Amino acid sequence: MRTLTIQAPDDWHLHFRDGDMLFETVPATSRCFKRAIAMPNLVPPVTTTQMALEYKARIQAAVPKNIAFDSDFDALVTLFLTNSTTPAEIAKAKAAGIVASKLYPAGATTNSDDAVKGIKALYPVFEKMQEVGMLLLIHGEVTQSHIDIFDREKAFIDAYLNDIVNYFPNLKVVFEHITTKDAADFVKASSSNVAATITPQHLLLNRNDLLAGGIRPHNYCLPVLKRSTHQQALQQTVASGSPKFFLGTDSAPHEKHKKESACGCAGCYSAWSAIELYAQVFDDLNALDKLEGFASHYGPDFYGLARNAGTITLKQEQWQVPQVMTLATSDKALRGSNASADTIVPFYAGQTLQWKLVN
């Protein structure tokens, strides 16, 4: 039986949510990742340094304390950029240890209606971020209704991203959860200050997995799944071992009834199988030797942080991703003892994986 031991990895893009959901998402992530970048698109969004530090405290309070590996977990919180964000707030956040701020075009994804309208209005903020060494994390899609949803990443590159990286050459930019060959090629051609994260769903699936044979709501995410040619380009990119690309799951939980509603939520909840999913991708690509760099080295190197101490080990063993997960919420006490608990359908539910985390 084959085993694989790698330096302890990090997740450089995920959604913990807030409140009771933290007691599901934080243990799921801390079981194998030592650090994670927490997205700030809560309700209300995390727009100030004080809000970010309070959110970090809530996340850390949900970390299990009975397992040594979990107890070392560190949540890296971020600021949600709006047109009201000031350079002074950026300087304050950086001084408080906040490593990055997140740019969402308004309406691009879940809970992003309060985000940026008119990206050039934020150029003074980008200037301050460049000055103090704070990273800019970008959800790179335009949101104009007349632009086809499958073309919105490429349109964002052409309309905004080229200018951002040219006007601010010393600003470190992470093009998050890229989905297209266009995005991969842009990052490869850009300076060493531009990198990208890639999710398990965009490596494992293409738009047939969302639409063929009927709509599959649990495969619906934003940015949306693209053609198989783009999926193959992302696979080739991670198999190349380029240090400009690293792990970011975009794990995003939604209750089953919300995903399966008439207006289903965007997001795939991959936390409980994330490292195993990536191992399967890299194994299928005959590139297992590249997984450690992607998962454990290139992210901290780009962020200017130390690589983690310790290791994790996976073994080649078949196991099945659960069909559903039950959420234990305090709301149940309010609704009565006979109330049914909320459930989440995890990403790749019911599928058999070939690698399993053992320690």
- Taking only the tens place, the pLDDT of each residue in 122-153 is 999 999 999 999 999 999 999 888 999 999 99
HSE on the CB side for 24, CA within 13 Å? 28
User: In which element (H, E) is residue 209 found?
Assistant: helix 208-211
Token output for 187 = 């990052």
Q: Which residue has the higher pLDDT, 329 or 10?
A: 10
* Cα dihedral value 24, 218, 352, 39, nearest 10: -40
Q: Which residues, at least 6 apart from 111, have a Cβ–Cβ distance to it below 8 Å?
A: 41, 42, 43, 45
What whole-number distance in Å separates Cα of residue 110 and Cα of residue 255?
14
Q: Is residue 102 marked as binding?
A: yes
Residue 146 in marked binding region: no
pLDDT at 248 over 60: yes
Quote the CA–CA distance of 292 and 295 in Å, as a whole number. 5
52: left (phi over 0), alpha (psi -120 to 50) or beta: alpha
Reply yes or no on whether the pLDDT at 358 is more than 60. yes
82 close to 74: Cβ distance less than 8 angstroms? no
The per-residue pLDDT for 112 is 58
Region 99-119: mean pLDDT is 75
Share of residues in the chain with pLDDT > 70 (%): 92
pLDDT value, residue 110:
62
To the question of whether residue 13 is assigned a binding role by annotation, the answer is yes
Q: Exposure string (b/e) for 31-66, b if CB count within 10 Å is 16 or more?
A: bbbbbbbbbbbbeebbbbbebbeebbeebeebbeee
What kind and span of H or E run contains 88? Answer: helix 87-95
In one-letter notation, the amino acid at residue 82 is T
Q: For the chain, which domains are there?
A: 10-310 (3.20.20.140)
15 labelled binding-site residue: yes
Q: Any binding-site annotation on 266?
A: yes
Q: Each residue of 73-87: pLDDT tens digit?
A: 999 999 999 989 999
Q: Is 257 annotated as a binding residue?
A: no
At residue 314's C-alpha, the angle toward residues 308 and 320, to 5°, is 125
Tell me if 53 is assigned to a ligand binding site: no
Q: Is 250 annotated as a binding residue?
A: yes
Q: Just list the catalytic residues.
A: 250
Residue 305 annotated as lining a ligand binding site: no
pLDDT of residue 331: 44
Crossing angle of helices 228-239 and 274-284, rounded to 10°: 90
For residue 58, give the nearest of 28, 81, 26, 36 by alpha carbon: 26
By percentage, how much of the chain surpasses pLDDT 90? 85
Residue 177 labelled as part of a binding site: yes
**68 pLDDT above the threshold of 70:** no
What is the pLDDT, as a whole number, of residue 114? 62
Q: pLDDT, tens digit, for every residue of 300-351?
A: 999 999 999 999 999 999 999 999 999 865 444 433 444 456 899 999 999 9
How many other C-beta atoms can be found within 10 angstroms of the C-beta atom of residue 169? 11
Query: Mean pLDDT over all residues of the chain?
Result: 92
Q: What share of the chain is helix, strand, coil (3-state, %, to 5)?
A: 40, 20, 40
> Mind listing the pLDDT tens digit for each residue in 181-211?
999 999 999 999 999 999 999 999 999 999 9
Contacts of 110 (CB under 8 A, 6+ apart): 15, 41, 222, 252, 265, 266, 267
pLDDT for 327: 86
Task: Provide mean pLDDT across the span 52-64.
Answer: 97
Sheet-wide strand order for 135-138 = 10-14, 35-38, 74-80, 100-103, 135-138, 173-175, 194-198, 245-247
Neighbours of 132 (CB within 10 A): 14
